[in-house]
Amino acid sequence: MQNCRMRVWLLCALLGLAGPCSAAYFYAQFGDVKYAPGFAHFDYVNPRAPKGGEITLVPPTRLSSFDKYNPFTLKGLAAPGLPDLMFDTLLTGDMDEPTTAYGLLADDVTVAPDGLSAVFTIDPRARFSNGDPVLASDVKYSFDKLTGPEASPQYQSYFGEIAKATVEGRYRVRFDFRRANRELPLIVGSLPVFSPKWGGGKPLDQIVTDPPIASGPYKIGHVDFGRDITYERDPHYWAKDLNVRRGLFNFDHVTYKLYQDNTAQLEAFKAGEFDYIQSFIAREWARAYTGRPFDSGRVVKREFKNGNPGDFQGFLLNTRRAKFRDWRVRKAIGLAMDFEWLNRQLFFGAYTRVRGYFPASDFEAKGLPGADELALLDPLRAGLSSRLFTQPVPQPPVTSPDPKSGNTLRDHLREAQALLHEAGWTYRDGALRNAAGEPFTIEFLDNSGSMGRIVTPYAHNLARLGIRATYRVVDFAILQKRMNVFDFDVISNRVPGSTAPGTELLDRFGSKAAATDGSSNFCGVRDPAVDALLKEVTSARTRPELIASLRALDRVLRFGYYMVPHWYSSVFRVAYRAGRFERPNVVPRYYQPDGWVTTVWWASPANLAGAP
């Protein structure tokens, strides 16, 4: 019988399907399955990790407050950690495979031969935190709520190609797809499931401070509302003995502390107010992560390597504003940034320049389009600039100190000036002005203040073009509200690199998302060619097809000059209190450090004993 199951598993893996095969404990978009039936645990965990102890950390994304326990609605700021610690999903991925997921709430998934539907069978053992069983009707309820008008619009976009959910039995739910798309079973598998009893019958957008009734490993514990939140491990967590959960979620208490600014946060860390922090600023890492706590060994300072693609980060230009609608203007603004100077003077040479939207990955466009890209781009030729076919993909300018190189900052500014003139902007009366006489101004909007040292020299370069740039720091809640309605000129944004970008790109670059409040299309990209390529991305049947479609998408976006590329690091810089934690020797290939720490690490004996 075991040999039969293994043959079925191998067949499923080769086909890249979870169904109609019977051994449907996984779904692999492209057939790359690492773990065989009955596997004991993921390779990068310690299955015998002791449970207990605590960890206190800060959110990886700057957050100075929170006002709700509901992460699924547009209004307000949810407490950090909520989705990952409290809400189980139908399937769960691992940190070694980019396009494979294994059963969690669902212990069986069957994909129809035509790829237009998938049936998930719920594990009868699954329970919500209140003890109620997780039923197919609860899955449908969660899907309907998240794709309805009460949820943040990003969920409608993310689940947009899923037509409906149908209950076929107490534990069976079928999802019908609008078209065949091999990623959709993974998209459905990522559905967070919650109880209809959450909120006592209130509409989803009126559930604010009601503690979630979900099925994850933690519940909400002590809260200093708006400042700190502690999650308590549920000793009755239904999935604690599943192979996909063995060795994970080991801390009894996970606490997030919130601080108003970077300086206060770092000083609090040095004083021992919390245990773990990730540094995103090279200067701070070099100069501020020093002193007695580090010299004495009380704090460990480490750089962890990873196999992740590079993070995307850049200044995003809001093309909904008339002054940014011409690509020549956007390119000119980018030419004014001198990354090489910044890297020498401010970053200690720690960063590599972001070149496109998928840096340091197989998906990054290079040179002229190859045959696989041309097969996708040729049908779109009428709507694309001829430059895209005759010129290499745009690269950010490299500034040389050699005055004879032709690549000095002055050379770049001279090119920018010509582009602005072509676009109808001329320097007169002390400023760069359009035909109506309006001066060109740019407001850089930020919430942490960390970008100030970047914007200052950048603004100086822009001033040489006649552009007046200002830098405004606001509270995160205000920034989020303005981002939700696209009320800004320029913002800085970071997106962690993905090993398999897909449906989430519809919300980031799709024309429909550009007009949807709360979407991630901050640049306001509205391009039929981009929409067509997004369809190719989400329809890819093999990894080579995914690579070709993403390279073509990257190429078109880069010729649009929607952003001024920033930089990325090939390592994670983290610091943590010594002697309080242990971790497996095996480091996963793809991970984000905060999630790795809270799920895989465990408390040391001293921590378990309650030592300070």
Domain CATH code at residue 553: 3.10.105.10
Which whole number is the average pLDDT over 289-302?
94
What CATH number is associated with residue 126?
3.40.190.10
Residue 24 is predicted with a pLDDT of 64
Residue 592: inside a domain, yes or no?
Answer: no
Give per-residue pLDDT as tens, 563-608.
999 999 889 999 999 999 999 999 999 999 999 999 999 999 988 8
The residue behind tokens 């001829």 is 386
Residue 7 is predicted with a pLDDT of 36
Residue 311 is predicted with a pLDDT of 87
Residue 513: inside a domain, yes or no?
Answer: yes
Rounded to 5, what percent of the chain is helix, strand, coil?
30, 20, 50
Q: Mapping DSSP to helix (H, G, I), strand (E, B) and coil, where does residue 176 land? A: strand
Strand segments (E) across 9-147? 26-28, 54-57, 91-93, 100-103, 106-111, 117-122
Residue 316 sits in the same domain as residue 174: no
Which whole number is the average pLDDT over 388-396?
97
Residue 525: inside a domain, yes or no?
Answer: yes
Residue 480: inside a domain, yes or no?
Answer: yes
Residue 199 sits in the same domain as residue 317: no
Q: Partners of 563 in the beta sheet?
A: 316
**Whole-angstrom Cα distance, residue 331 to residue 443?**
17
Percent of the chain past pLDDT 90, that is, above it, reads: 83
Residue 454: inside a domain, yes or no?
Answer: yes
Residue 323 sits in the same domain as residue 202: no
Which whole number is the average pLDDT over 66-93?
96
Residue 4 is predicted with a pLDDT of 36
Residue 50: inside a domain, yes or no?
Answer: no
**Whole-angstrom Cα distance, residue 120 to residue 98?**
21
Which whole number is the average pLDDT over 497-502?
87
Residue 335 sits in the same domain as residue 187: no
Give per-residue pLDDT as tens, 402-439.
989 999 999 999 999 999 999 999 999 999 999 999 99
Residue 531: inside a domain, yes or no?
Answer: yes
Q: Which pLDDT band holds residue 61 (cuts at 50, 70, 90)?
A: confident
**Whole-angstrom Cα distance, residue 419 to residue 502?**
34
Domain boundary among 206, 234, 261: 206
Q: Who has greater pLDDT, 4 or 543?
A: 543
Contact present, 442 and 316 (Cβ < 8 Å): no
Q: Which pLDDT band holds residue 450 (cuts at 50, 70, 90)?
A: confident
Which whole number is the average pLDDT over 500-506?
91
Residue 521: inside a domain, yes or no?
Answer: yes
Domain boundary among 206, 232, 254: 206
Residue 1 is predicted with a pLDDT of 35
Which whole number is the average pLDDT over 294-314?
91
Residue 333 sits in the same domain as residue 199: no
Number of domains the chain is built from = 2
Domain boundary among 206, 228, 251: 206
Q: Which among 36-40, 218-222, 304-308 has the top mean pLDDT?
A: 218-222
* Neighbouring C-beta atoms of residue 191, cutoff 10 Å: 26
Residue 156 is predicted with a pLDDT of 92
Residue 445, domain extent:
312-568
Give per-residue pLDDT as tens, 16-38.
444 434 336 889 988 778 999 88
Q: Which pLDDT band holds residue 6 (cuts at 50, 70, 90)?
A: very low
The two tokens of residue 351 are 């960063």
Q: Which pLDDT band holds residue 610 (cuts at 50, 70, 90)?
A: low
Contact present, 60 and 594 (Cβ < 8 Å): yes
